[in-house]
Amino acid sequence: MTSLIPNRGNYRNLLCYRKAETIYDITFFFTKQFLNKGDRTIDQMVQAARSGKQNIVEGYTAGATSAETELKLFNVAKSSLQELLIDYEDYLRTRGHKRWAEDSEQARCAQQLGRAHNDTVFWMNIVSTRDACTIANIAIILIYQEDYLLYKYLQSAGKRFINEGGFREKLTRTRLQQRSKKTKED
**Phi-psi label, residue 2: left if phi above 0, alpha if psi -120 to 50, beta otherwise:** beta
* Residue 59 near residue 156 (C-beta atoms within 8 A): no
DSSP 87-112: HHHHHHHHTTPPPPPTTSHHHHHHHH
- The radius of gyration computed from the CA coordinates of the chain, to the nearest angstrom, equals 21
Instruction: Give the burial string for 116-134 (b: 16+ CB within 10 Å, else e).
Output: ebbebeebeeebeeeebbb
Q: What is the pLDDT of residue 44?
A: 97
| Single-letter amino acid, residue 107 | A
pLDDT tens per residue across span 132-148: 999 999 999 999 999 99
Q: What is the mean pLDDT of the chain?
A: 91
pTM of the model: 0.87
Between 84 and 167, whose confidence is greater?
A: 84
- Answer yes or no: is pLDDT of 154 > 60: yes
pLDDT tens per residue across span 33-42: 999 999 999 9
Q: What is the pLDDT of residue 65?
A: 82
